[in-house]
């Protein structure tokens, strides 16, 4: 889970969530009370595992969303560069045509 969280740019929330799981009351209860019944331990364990699985799925989704956003940003940048280049060519092509017309008419005189 830490490895997945390390892929995020904004790790604060995920780090806090992982710390919260570490500090979970179920873990403390099992550690501090040797008389905890095995069935209760199983229930606490199952609950903790479910919470960890949900957290892992949430982290993986956040990583996927971040990667998609990065790809979209790169695509937007490329598209802007292509549009700028197209605009430059159109402006340059218009100037060339204008110069040909101007110089062509001068040569005839």
Structure confidence by residue, pLDDT tens digits, 58-74:
888 988 998 999 999 99
What is the structure's pLDDT at 109?
46
DSSP 109: -
Total domains, the chain: 1
Choice between 41 and 72, residue whose per-residue pLDDT is larger: 72
Terminal-residue alpha carbon distance, the chain? 80
pLDDT at 84 > cutoff 80 = yes
Residue pointed to by tokens 């009351």? 25
CA–CA distances in Å: residue 83 to residues 8, 58, 59, 88: 31, 37, 36, 9
Can you tell me the mean pLDDT for 20-25? Answer: 70
**Which of 25-38 are b and which e, b meaning 16 or more Cβ less than 10 Å from the residue's Cβ?**
ebeeebeeeeeeee
Whether the model pTM is above 0.85 = no
Residues of the chain above pLDDT 70, percent: 64
Query: Domain of 45?
Result: 2-108
């Amino acid at each position: 889970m830490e490895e997945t969280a390390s892929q995020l740019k904004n790790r604060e929330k995920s780090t806090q969530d992982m710390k919260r799981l570490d500090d979970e009351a179920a873990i403390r209860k099992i550690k501090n009370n040797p008389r905890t019944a095995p069935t209760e331990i199983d229930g606490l364990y199952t609950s903790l595992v479910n919470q960890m699985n949900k957290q892992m799925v949430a982290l993986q989704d956040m990583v996927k969303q971040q990667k998609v956003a990065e790809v979209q940003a790169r695509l937007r940048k490329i598209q802007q560069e292509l549009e700028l280049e197209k605009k430059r060519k159109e402006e340059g092509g218009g100037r060339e045509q204008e110069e040909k017309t101007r110089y062509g008419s001068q040569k005839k005189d």
